[in-house]
Chains A and B, each alone.
Chain A
Amino acid sequence: MNRRTVAALALTVATGLTLTACGGPKPAPGSGSRAPADAFEPVKVGDGDATRGGNVNVLMSADFQTLDPGNSNYVQTANVGQLYYRTLTMAKEEAGKPPTIVPDLATDLGKVSKDGLTWTYTLKKGLKFEDGSPITSKDVKYGVERTYARDVYTQAPQELNAALSDDGYKGPYAKGAAADFKGIETPDDRTIVFRLKQPFAEFPALASRSNTAPVPRAEDTKLDYTNHPVSTGPYRIKSYDRGRAMKLVRNEHWDPATDPNRSALPDTFTFSLSTAQSTISQQLLADADPTALTLDSAGGLQASDAAKLDDPAVARRTASGLIGCTDVLDLNTESIKDPQVRKAIALAIDRKAIHLQYGGARFGKLTQSYINPDQRGYVQQHTALDPAGQPKLAEAKKLLKGRDVPKKLVYGYADATPRYKNMGTSLQQNLKQLGIDLELRSIPAANYYTTLAGKNMPDIARSGWCGGADSGSVRTTIDPNLGPSVDGKTFGFSNIPRYHDPEIARAMYALRGENGTSEELGRKWSTLFDRAMQDYPLVPLIRNVTRSVVGSDVRNAQVGYFFGAIDLSTVSVASGSDSGKG
């Protein structure tokens, strides 16, 4: 193009600044994504350093949604939870790979009965709460029981509960027969027996869900439990100022002999819970605090920070890896009822522009499906979306002919991250082409998913899913996200688009009870998912790659596949680091 050669009114000063800020050569314009071949290989920082002591300073742009293991579906809570609660089994992270299920409080991964309906676990000896009292099987049972009180814990993990045989149970706060739980038996203080409705091949993964973390009945303060969950892990909460700061110190009653999964090297962890995301990325890039790291998604990095990752000094401090998290746009099927209208909206979306907001090829791959081929049971998925992410406007307009098209839709975004607002601005332009006015509504980041689960769910919203109990299996993505409710009659608890097709719901409901290997069952799940996706309840966007810069004294930093952030169970700080902070 001839126009591009027209000399711009070059501003020498501005150009000079830009060049120094960017550093390194730039690719020629217009040649598309150029991710290096090794872009998706995991990178660890300071692997193998065994120094004990010091403080790790965790910077976050928003408070944890909750610290209560019984009210959490959140990866950040699961990540920090490794430090203060233990579960029967545990999903142990290894960078770049789906996590492995290993025993934690239990001696092994469980013994299953012949009919597949009973799983028995034995607790290790010498397990104690932070006050020194012993952990018994009743505490584990109670931890599960309370998550049946869905009226209290709206975000309670339900995967385990859905598999257990007592659907009529209403939680320990209910009165009468409804308060007597038959799904779990505790013949003695160290034995726990789970009674299942149906055989469940991946049950050891369900036993790693956060609601198998023991909760002492006497300490259960319901929704206030989040302020001080009783520790069973290597650290306990010393102070927690909601929305501002938290400090974890060693729990003397944690016995390392019972726990091969957590290195627990640092003496303390401090959390700063209200640092602006742009400040976090600047501090980490500049190494302002050598013991700092962040749990924010995408390492708290802004798109404009990307070029700095090429700086060798920063690259040395960058842990990275492909993660299980996939981001999608949820289309509210209760407000946009017509599947063809949803399909048209999906086709009109410029996913390439959204990919750019995520930092382009360096931070993720455009994906055509919510599930990915790395998961067990994946079968080829079908979609009309363009693989390169370009909008298909003509096709979208054709679909809308003669249909009842909404005049105005609302896109809700979490206000802490500029990228999500920019996505909205881009969507606004796309939908305008279809004659739809898209309005942008900011939602406080701390209430984002609660809002999406409630009655104020906007018409369009972004969400991400990083896999459930067994993130290596397709079911872990499909069942919670588009699956039916516990009784199969409505949509499930994490089904943000509120998708419910009676036929597919029935089939998925039946599938939950089938016996077979994880692989066989996975294929069936994938096939049903493919059918559901033809109704476009959601638009797949990006399979994430996380690059997380850590301070120069941080060691053993790896990006968790499931957490999408630095795995707190392995990190430590180098010797000689100033641990006087916090």
Chain B
Amino acid sequence: MLPARPASGADGGGVPNARSPEPGSAPPAVAARSLLGTAWLRIRRSKIALAALAVVVLMILFAALAPVLTAIEGQDPYTTRTSPDVLDDYGTPGLPLSYYRYPSFDHWLGVEPGLGRDIFARMAHGAQVSLVIALLATVVSVVLGTVLGAAAGYFGGKVDMVISRVMDLFLAFPHLLLVLSLTPILQSRLGDTALGEGSLLPIASLVIILGFFGWAYLARVVRGQVLSIREQEFVEAARAYGASHRSIILKQIVPNVMGVVLVYATMMIPTNITAEAALSFLGVGVKDPTPSWGQMLNAAQAGNWYLTDPWFLAVPAGALVITVLAFNLLGDAVRDALDPKSSRG
């Protein structure tokens, strides 16, 4: 026989049943919303946040569909075109003739000076590379930061001391210098430094470097949160029930710091996009022939092409600015939405 279901929440310890309130009893409770639900509601109210979200979603779709889009365009990111019909031969050698320099039916964003490769194809495939690096590096940082931060905050004592000192150490390094010097070393350790089309080596190395050196700040914030959460009653209760540390961290604590983590993650993505672009621009990140936005900026700068063909610089720079701005605005909105003290929600 099935146990009889209580007709109402009147039996004391039961969960209030919002869907079937007893007529005439307590007034209907507001529907309980999850953290994300509340956040979504707040984001939906802000036009800027919605626009930013739309741009981010579009950019991700654009990157994901890069092969499809370039196939529709009928181009690929690697084929060079150097005939005098496409590139100037004498006046400014290598400068695309005007039909090829600017958007046209054949080349939606024109072709590169010097090599005559299709800019749209390179930008789309470059978006893929740039976003994959930024997202994966963020995932690495977030996982490391959350786990280590939670462990430090929860266990305290020696564990905390060791992890916190490591965090301090990572935060004390000049980030850009470290990444600049480590990337080439890591690349030569990971494999042959000779790079072919679509080589994964620079991508992998950037994910590792950016991910591994970006966790410390988040870990510090998480640790602070966990320090206060672990003293709360529900954690005490779980402990009293004899729950394992692992289960307490994963089931009680981590869900309660997810808001903070989410905010930092959305802020970290644009930082990583810029970091990838900066490194590739400086020539240590993604290298030709593999396209990324930073690599394209590098190509526009190398040989001073940006002076004679500003459009070539404008495309990756524009994509970078728009994407980073959208991620930043979205990050702001998420923070506002998750922070109950925020006035703008």
Q: Which A residues are within 8 Å of any B CB, using their own CB?
A: 3-4, 6, 8-11, 14-15, 17-18, 21-22, 24, 26-27, 29-35, 278, 281-282, 302-307, 350, 352-353, 356-357, 359-363, 408, 410-412, 415, 418-419, 421-422, 425-426, 428-429, 437-442, 458
Q: Give the 10 A-B CB pairs with smallest separation, nearest first.
A: A360-B93, A353-B82, A441-B194, A439-B194, A418-B302, A307-B92, A302-B303, A9-B103, A8-B102, A439-B196
B80 touches A440 (CB 8 A): no
Most B CB within 10 A of own CB, among A34, A356, A362 = A356
A408 to B314 Cα, complex, angstroms: 35
| Other-chain contact of B90, A22, A27, A302 (Cβ < 8 Å) | A27
CB of B248 to closest CB in A, whole Å: 51
Closest B-chain residue to A17, C-beta based? B310
A429 touches B194 (CB 8 A): no
CB of A443 to closest CB in B, whole Å: 10
B82 touches A425 (CB 8 A): no
B194 touches A410 (CB 8 A): yes
CB of B319 to closest CB in A, whole Å: 15
Closest A-chain residue to B81, C-beta based? A353
A30 touches B302 (CB 8 A): no
**In this assembly, does B168 line the interface, its C-beta being within 8 Å of a C-beta of chain A?**
no
Given known A-B contacts A360-B90, A425-B289, A30 and B85 have beta carbons under 8 A apart: yes
A449 to B211 Cα, complex, angstroms: 37
Interface CB pairs A-B, < 8 A, 5: A6-B105, A359-B94, A425-B80, A429-B78, A440-B287
CB of B137 to closest CB in A, whole Å: 24
Q: Which B residues are within 8 Å of any A CB, using their own CB?
A: 78-80, 82-85, 87-95, 97-99, 101-106, 113-115, 192-197, 199, 283, 287-289, 301-305, 307-311, 314
| Other-chain contact of A303, B79, B93, B193, B194 (Cβ < 8 Å) | B93
B288 touches A421 (CB 8 A): yes
Chain B residues lying within 8 Å of A353, measured Cβ to Cβ, are 80, 82, 115
CB of B82 to closest CB in A, whole Å: 4
Chain A residues lying within 8 Å of B94, measured Cβ to Cβ, are 303-304, 356-357, 359-360
Given known A-B contacts A30-B84, A303-B303, A21 and B308 have beta carbons under 8 A apart: yes
Chain B residues lying within 8 Å of A17, measured Cβ to Cβ, are 310
Given known A-B contacts A3-B106, A32-B89, A350 and B302 have beta carbons under 8 A apart: no
A26 touches B91 (CB 8 A): yes
A302 to B84 Cα, complex, angstroms: 19
Given known A-B contacts A422-B115, A439-B192, A304 and B80 have beta carbons under 8 A apart: no
Chain B residues lying within 8 Å of A439, measured Cβ to Cβ, are 192, 194-196, 199
A18 touches B193 (CB 8 A): no
A-B contact number at CB 8 A? 172
CB of A393 to closest CB in B, whole Å: 14
| Other-chain contact of A11, B82, B84, B99, B102 (Cβ < 8 Å) | B102
Chain B residues lying within 8 Å of A415, measured Cβ to Cβ, are 283
CB of A40 to closest CB in B, whole Å: 14
| Other-chain contact of B92, A6, A15, A306 (Cβ < 8 Å) | A306
A29 touches B113 (CB 8 A): no
CB of A236 to closest CB in B, whole Å: 36
A440 touches B289 (CB 8 A): yes
Closest A-chain residue to B298, C-beta based? A418
A6 to B102 Cα, complex, angstroms: 12
B90 touches A362 (CB 8 A): yes
10 more CB-based (< 8 A) A-B contacts, given A18-B311, A353-B80: A6-B99, A17-B310, A18-B101, A18-B310, A22-B95, A34-B89, A359-B94, A361-B90, A421-B288, A441-B193
A362 to B92 Cα, complex, angstroms: 10
Chain A residues lying within 8 Å of B304, measured Cβ to Cβ, are 278, 281-282, 302, 304-305
A267 to B93 Cα, complex, angstroms: 39
Closest A-chain residue to B306, C-beta based? A304
| Other-chain contact of B97, A29, A360, A440 (Cβ < 8 Å) | A29
Chain A residues lying within 8 Å of B311, measured Cβ to Cβ, are 11, 14, 18
Given known A-B contacts A3-B106, A356-B82, A437-B196, A418 and B303 have beta carbons under 8 A apart: yes
Chain A residues lying within 8 Å of B307, measured Cβ to Cβ, are 21, 304
Chain A residues lying within 8 Å of B85, measured Cβ to Cβ, are 29-30
A32 to B104 Cα, complex, angstroms: 23
Chain A residues lying within 8 Å of B95, measured Cβ to Cβ, are 22, 304, 307
B91 touches A304 (CB 8 A): no
| Other-chain contact of B289, A34, A410, A428 (Cβ < 8 Å) | A428
CB of A327 to closest CB in B, whole Å: 16
Chain B residues lying within 8 Å of A305, measured Cβ to Cβ, are 304
A29 touches B88 (CB 8 A): yes
| Other-chain contact of A304, B99, B105, B289, B305 (Cβ < 8 Å) | B305
B194 touches A440 (CB 8 A): yes
Closest B-chain residue to A412, C-beta based? B194
Closest A-chain residue to B301, C-beta based? A278
Chain B residues lying within 8 Å of A278, measured Cβ to Cβ, are 301-304
CB of A71 to closest CB in B, whole Å: 27
Chain B residues lying within 8 Å of A30, measured Cβ to Cβ, are 84-85, 97
Chain B residues lying within 8 Å of A362, measured Cβ to Cβ, are 90, 93
B93 touches A359 (CB 8 A): yes
Most A CB within 10 A of own CB, among B113, B195, B307 = B307
B308 touches A8 (CB 8 A): no
CB of A32 to closest CB in B, whole Å: 5
Given known A-B contacts A3-B106, A439-B196, A304 and B90 have beta carbons under 8 A apart: no
CB of A256 to closest CB in B, whole Å: 42
B88 touches A26 (CB 8 A): yes
| Other-chain contact of B99, A8, A281, A350, A360 (Cβ < 8 Å) | A8
B303 touches A34 (CB 8 A): no
Given known A-B contacts A281-B304, A439-B192, A33 and B98 have beta carbons under 8 A apart: no
A35 to B91 Cα, complex, angstroms: 10
B89 touches A304 (CB 8 A): no
A5 to B15 Cα, complex, angstroms: 73
Closest B-chain residue to A354, C-beta based? B82
CB of A197 to closest CB in B, whole Å: 42
Closest A-chain residue to B97, C-beta based? A29
A4 to B311 Cα, complex, angstroms: 19
A33 to B89 Cα, complex, angstroms: 6
Chain B residues lying within 8 Å of A429, measured Cβ to Cβ, are 78-80
A6 to B107 Cα, complex, angstroms: 12
CB of B255 to closest CB in A, whole Å: 47
B194 touches A425 (CB 8 A): no
A303 touches B90 (CB 8 A): no
Chain A residues lying within 8 Å of B115, measured Cβ to Cβ, are 353, 422, 425-426
A415 to B284 Cα, complex, angstroms: 12
A295 to B314 Cα, complex, angstroms: 33
B102 touches A440 (CB 8 A): no
Given known A-B contacts A10-B102, A304-B309, A305-B304, A426 and B93 have beta carbons under 8 A apart: no
Chain A residues lying within 8 Å of B101, measured Cβ to Cβ, are 18
B78 touches A304 (CB 8 A): no
CB of A546 to closest CB in B, whole Å: 15
| Other-chain contact of B82, A14, A26, A350 (Cβ < 8 Å) | A350
A458 to B192 Cα, complex, angstroms: 12
B102 touches A14 (CB 8 A): yes
A440 touches B288 (CB 8 A): yes
Most B CB within 10 A of own CB, among A3, A15, A302 = A302
Closest B-chain residue to A36, C-beta based? B90
A510 to B283 Cα, complex, angstroms: 49
Chain B residues lying within 8 Å of A302, measured Cβ to Cβ, are 302-304
Given known A-B contacts A282-B304, A307-B91, A361-B90, A8 and B103 have beta carbons under 8 A apart: yes
